[in-house]
Amino acid sequence: MARIQYPDLGGDPEIRAAAEAVDKARDGALPNLYRMLLHEPSLATTWLRLGSWLRYRGRLDDRTRELIICRVGARTRSAYELHHHSPLVLAAGVSQAQLDALDHPEPPRGLFTDRERDLIHYADAVLAAAVTDRHTTAVRRWLADAELVELTGLVAYYLAVSRFLAAMAVEVEAVH
């Protein structure tokens, strides 16, 4: 159960307008993450814009983006993130064995490409606030500077998402 109740969507016009923006951007869905964020409508819409840019307008390919999001979800123990992104990472071509391995501290050799392993190690370093020149050099073999910045922002954003979800005890949506 969430730590505070979700706001009433029918009362405050600012909450209603923000809820409609989320609903439109998420193809008719109002995920519990955004329902909770609607307590502060400006935060909800700002969060939506950044998340939407990272998911739909960035330079990283779908497989890379979803692989890293699921790594963040696995390492932060975010059932909510994994619930939402596991189908997306599988649809992007990641195997179930690879998805399952994202929970391991060290991704098994042979299961991921060298590129994927370097990106996973970099994501782990960002999560631990322990990025070194070695991490950056390894990732720059595969990514342009703009993509490195995007990758770093992606990890930081989904770390923030996972921490918000945990702090507010936001539940995974019920299946209807």
pLDDT at 176 over 50: no
Residue 68: which CATH number? 1.20.1290.10
pLDDT of residue 120: 98
In a domain, 90, yes or no: yes
In a domain, 6, yes or no: no
Together in a domain, 140 and 106: yes
Q: Which domain holds residue 38?
A: 13-56
| Cβ atoms within 10 Å, residue 135 | 18
115-125, pLDDT tens digit by residue? 999 999 999 99
pLDDT band at residue 175 using 50, 70 and 90 as cut-offs = low
pLDDT at 61 over 50: yes
Coil, strand or helix at 66:
helix
Average pLDDT over residues 130-145: 98
Together in a domain, 102 and 41: no
Cβ partners under 8 Å of residue 52, min gap 6: 25
Q: Indicate the average pLDDT of the chain.
A: 96
Together in a domain, 86 and 144: yes
pLDDT at 76 over 50: yes
Classify residue 69 as exposed, middle or buried by CB count within 10 Å of its CB (0-12, 13-18, 19+): buried
- Number of structural domains found in the chain: 2
In a domain, 118, yes or no: yes
In a domain, 158, yes or no: yes
pTM here is 0.95
